[in-house]
Amino acid sequence: MNRLRFLSLRLARTLATLVVIAFITFAVFSLWPADPAAMACGKPCTPENLERARAFMGYDLPWYTQFWHYLRGVALGRVFGQGPGAIVCAAPCLGYSFRLSTPVTELIATRLPVTASLAVGAAVLWLAIGVGAGVVSALRRGSRLDRVIMTGTVLGVSAPAYLVGLLGILLFGFTLDMVPVSGYVPFADSPLDWAWHLVLPWCALALISAAVYARMVRGEMLENLGEDYVRTARAVGLPERRVIGRHVMRNICLPVVTYFALDLGGLLGGAVITERVFSMQGLGALLMDAVGTSDVPVVMGVTLVAAAFVIVANLAADALAAVIDPRI
């Protein structure tokens, strides 16, 4: 019952946070120097045509009314304009790109599989490598293997993402001609080509994050190995594998789960640099294109979705932490 109450409170806070973020996002981009109505104004864009465009898009209304229409559009859908030329944006409506003549939700849904494929694959890779390297390094503390792993993590943490990607393209793409260097193949078209085109981006992203996780897991492992419960478990004759696997690993799961959820949620919002380096048309590329062309509805929509991913991932981490440790 307490666990259900905890999750219910967290869900309510998550919904409230999403509304606050939507308001902040709306307020920030309402101050955008470019006028979105100018894109739908046509040529010549006379003052009369500009006013008609603003009325059609709803920018002639007070800011609080615009925000209410935005929230209502997310929940129930929205109609831009009136009469035969009206544009219907089905729920959840995150706005309408008059530059691309497409609802923002549809644009995000088209680009999301690319970013999700990149993020999930890289996350699985960095979690497996990072946790494994951290555990081995902690159990072999002071050994040559420990020093090699820690040196590798320093290099991984220090390397910029774009540099790792470019070096990977130069070495494995052009010099050795082992893997594709750009593009994306949908999973439904060919699962093998899908994975093959993502190998290099996955490795470029995983290298940096795995180094961070390895250092974090090593620190948590060393701290827990010095605790009284570990000495007690060893004193009563429990096998070392059981002490590590059942007791120590369970305690280090909490920080790992928390960081992993936040990192994955942030990456699902768009890996801007990696997508640019590998010419992948995901949410990050969509956001950069929208910023470059002052497509405010798209910028707002992608920003809000990215924030929602982080918040939902945090909620999932809290739920999983409550399962791992009922005391929470």
Domain ranges of the chain: 22-93, 107-324
In eight-state DSSP terms, residue 80 is E
- Fill in the DSSP letter of residue 326: T
Q: Is the pLDDT of residue 1 over 60?
A: no
Average pLDDT for 13-23: 85
The answer to whether residue 43 scores a pLDDT higher than 80 is no
Lowest average pLDDT, out of 21-25, 142-146, 174-178, 321-325, goes to 321-325
State yes or no: pLDDT of 52 exceeds 60.
yes
Nearest to 304 by CA among 12, 15, 18: 18
- Of the candidates 47, 80, 113, 142, the one whose C-alpha atom is nearest the C-alpha of residue 297 is 80
Q: Kindly report, residue by residue over 230-255, the tens digit of the pLDDT.
A: 888 888 888 888 888 878 888 888 88
Using the predicted structure, report yes or no on whether residue 204 has a pLDDT greater than 80: yes
> What is residue 106's predicted lDDT score, i.e. its pLDDT?
94
Q: What is the mean pLDDT of the chain?
A: 85
Average pLDDT value for residue range 129-143 = 91
- Answer whether residue 269 shows pLDDT above 80: no
Q: Check: CB of residue 96 under 8 Å from CB of residue 297.
A: yes
Return the H-helix or E-strand segment holding 130.
helix 104-139
Question: Which range is least confidently modeled, 70-79, 167-176, 315-324?
Answer: 315-324
Taking Cα atoms as reference points, which of 205, 264, 221 lies closest to residue 132?
221
| Cα–Cα distance, 176 to 207 (Å, whole number) | 20
Residues 100-130 have pLDDT tens digits of 889 999 999 999 999 999 999 999 999 999 9
Architecture of domain 107-324: Orthogonal Bundle (1.10)
pLDDT of residue 2: 67
